Amino acid sequence: MNYQDIAKQLVPLLGGRENIVSAIHCATRLRLVLKDTQKVDQKAIESLEGVKGAFSSSGQYQVIFGTGTVNKVHDALVRETGLQQAGDDTHQEAVKQNMNPVARFAKALSNIFVPIIPAIVASGLLMGLLGMMKAFSWVSSDHAVYRLLDMFSSAAFIILPILIGFSAAKEFGANPFLGAVIGGILTHPALLNPWTLTNATPEYMNLFGFELALIGYQGTVVPILIAVYFMSKVEKSLRKVVPNSVDLLVTPFITVIVTGFFTFVVIGPFGRWVGDMISLTLQSLYNVAGPVAGLVFGGLYSTIVITGVHHSFHAIEAGLLASKEIGVNFLLPIWSMANVAQGGAALAVYLKTRNKKLKSVALPGAFSAFLGITEPAIFGVNLRLGKPFIAAAIGGGLGAAYVVMMNVVANAYGLTGIPMLAIVAPFGMEKVLHYLIGFAIAVGSAFIATYVLGFKEEK
């Protein structure tokens, strides 16, 4: 494969050098920010050697080349166009300029919560290990190992506002360490910890006529998000007027004081109320509508993925996990069924099509979807052909209805498909079995629906 030749062919099909704003790559896709996506010749790009699909999503035009190829094509494209090697931050800023306000908001939430996924997954797995130790009586609950693991498993949720504060400040263009400080204020040891002391009554203090409850925000999501956004505005405003000579002393000092007071008086109570309303509303819908809610959400999720709005769901899932009243993620199994159904439809396309290039995309796309990565299956196969995407929506809805009916839940977020078994297992083998049955329903019904609906063969 001549990568420089591919880059030469690709540039005019993207609308020319002047149409390309920024280019980076991930493990499988070339990610481009373009001035005008209407200038793109989609069909010609998809026919290029090595291209396994192309699509526009969330402010970027993405071309799928696959692992080991995409980085070489990217390097050739940079040489061909004279583009500077864009850093991820620069590229993401360019992406935001191409997005509408709703998509921009969803992308911001994704950028905040995705880096926290490893901590949440680790906590979920530790909770599962604790559950197994208790269920099988491996050690007593007062054993040192059990007590230490209990501390390890709950730590991420106790300091969640600090983690979010750091990540959110980076996203909002503020000092991330000041964001962590605001999170630390909300989880200060002097405040009652509602995560571990649910039955205790908080003390109150009078501040300029306001009665403030001395209760912490451990395990909350919305208050710290609003507080750090407010903090970023305060910090940026101060930097415009404070002389450079005293900026290091004055700006952090005033930022922390103003944000801290305003958070305790207004943002904290309001944010807690908003977070509780979101979580309780979703739980009520889940309890009342049950499988119907699963059918609808599972059927629509892949369509939401196309818009990019699904990035915002991490914040909601983190709120469910952090809630003492809920404490589980009942949305993730629904999303997982929608994802694996895309794999089932792509697998049917692989077996049914005679197009060799489509086969080369469909099979790896299907297995990628089974592992929770759906872009190759959605954009490289199912959405291009139309009816397989509809078939996947049918499979996703049916699989989701089953897992909701069987009350399959997870104790983390960020993993779907086969890897999600690790965060379902802590709730027992019965839930694992129901998850696998839902998986089979989603994949099988999407596969069958693709065969029944058929699709128009590409030339």
Mean pLDDT of 360-378: 87
- Structure tokens belonging to residue 137: 């009586």
CA 344 to chain centre: 22
Q: pLDDT of 410-457, one tens digit each?
A: 988 878 899 888 888 888 889 999 999 999 999 999 999 999 998 887
pLDDT at 398: 96
Residue 113 pLDDT > 80: yes
Residues near 259 by beta carbon (within 8 Å), at least 6 away in sequence = 182, 227, 230, 231, 234
Q: How far apart are CA 145 and CA 152, in angstroms?
A: 10
Catalytic residues: 26
Written as one string, the DSSP assignment of 206-227 is: EETTEEEE-B--TT-SHHHHHH
215 beta partners: 192
Mapping DSSP to helix (H, G, I), strand (E, B) and coil, where does residue 184 land?
helix
Let me know: does 22 contact 33? Beta carbons within 8 Å.
yes
Domain made up of 3-97: CATH architecture: 2-Layer Sandwich (3.30)
Percent residues over pLDDT 70 in the chain: 93
Q: Could you give the strand order of the β-sheet that contains 29-34, starting from the edge strand earlier in sequence?
A: 20-25, 29-34, 60-64, 53-57
CA-to-CA separations, 58 to 27, 87, 100, 248, in angstroms, rounded: 18, 18, 9, 37
Residue 87 pLDDT > 70: no
Q: pLDDT of 15-41, one tens digit each?
A: 988 888 888 888 778 888 888 888 989
Residues near 321 by beta carbon (within 8 Å), at least 6 away in sequence = 120, 157, 327, 328, 329, 411, 412, 413
How confident is residue 197, by pLDDT bands cut at 50, 70 and 90?
low
265 beta partners: none
Burial class of 92 by CB neighbour count within 10 A (0 to 12, 13 to 18, 19+): buried
Mean pLDDT of 45-71: 83
- Structure tokens belonging to residue 81: 């166009």
Residues of the chain with CATH 3.30.1360.60: 3-97
Mean pLDDT of 235-240: 94
How confident is residue 86, by pLDDT bands cut at 50, 70 and 90?
low
Quote the Cα angle for 143-328-148, to 5°: 20
pLDDT at 60: 83
pLDDT at 208: 75
Let me know: does 51 contact 57? Beta carbons within 8 Å.
no
Return phi, psi of residue 453, to 5°.
-70, -35
Residue 45 pLDDT > 70: yes
Residue 165 pLDDT > 90: yes
Let me know: does 340 contact 388? Beta carbons within 8 Å.
no
| DSSP 8-state symbol, 193 | -
pLDDT at 91: 67
Q: How far apart are CA 66 and CA 235, in angstroms?
A: 42
> Other C-beta atoms within 10 Å of 402: how many?
24
Rg, the chain, Cα only = 24
| DSSP 8-state symbol, 61 | E
Question: What pTM was computed for the model?
Answer: 0.73
Residue 199 pLDDT > 70: no
- Structure tokens belonging to residue 224: 């710290």
pLDDT at 284: 86
